[in-house]
Amino acid sequence: MSYPSIFEADTLVQNKARLDLLSKEKQPLWGKMNVAQMIAHLNVSYDVSQGKTKVNINPVMRFFLKTFVKKAVVGDRPYAKNGRTAPYFLMVDEKDFENEKKRLLANMQWVFEKGETYFEGRPTGSFGKLTSKEWSNLFQKHLDHHFKQFGV
């Protein structure tokens, strides 16, 4: 499966429309998070990419992630339902739906405005340098997975 580019205006419009279909009452089709926790979970990847959240990964774990996990995260294959996530992505506390939604809208806009050139070769703490296509997949694939989790 090929994901649409997160850097294209049409993709941003479609993602905003899907986000607008979510409400506080929306129930997941699978998984443990409620809708506000899911949106907060999505925001973590943007926070890490912007340096707002620091993730310290030891060199052995970074080698493991880069060698064995990277392709599953930034490649073209969809995520499996109920897959494992890194501890810093886990959401167990209650979150404010409206606040998280506003943050996600701003984060999606930030990525779009920064564009492909900004992300080309930009490093991650987990996987090293990524191409803009890999960054796009990382963001878009994650959004798509969780939007589907909530039926949108």
Indicate whether this model's pTM tops 0.85: yes
Angle subtended at Cα 130 by Cα 125 and Cα 133, rounded to the nearest 5 degrees: 140
Range of the domain at 116: 9-149
Interval 49-94: pLDDT, tens: 998 988 788 889 889 889 999 999 999 999 889 887 777 788 889 9
Q: How far apart are CA 122 and CA 128, in angstroms?
A: 8
CB 50 within 8 A of CB 111: no
Number of domains within the chain: 1
Interval 86-129: pLDDT, tens: 777 888 899 999 999 999 999 999 999 999 999 999 999 889 99
Q: Is residue 1, in this structure, part of any structural domain at all?
A: no
Q: Is residue 4, in this structure, part of any structural domain at all?
A: no
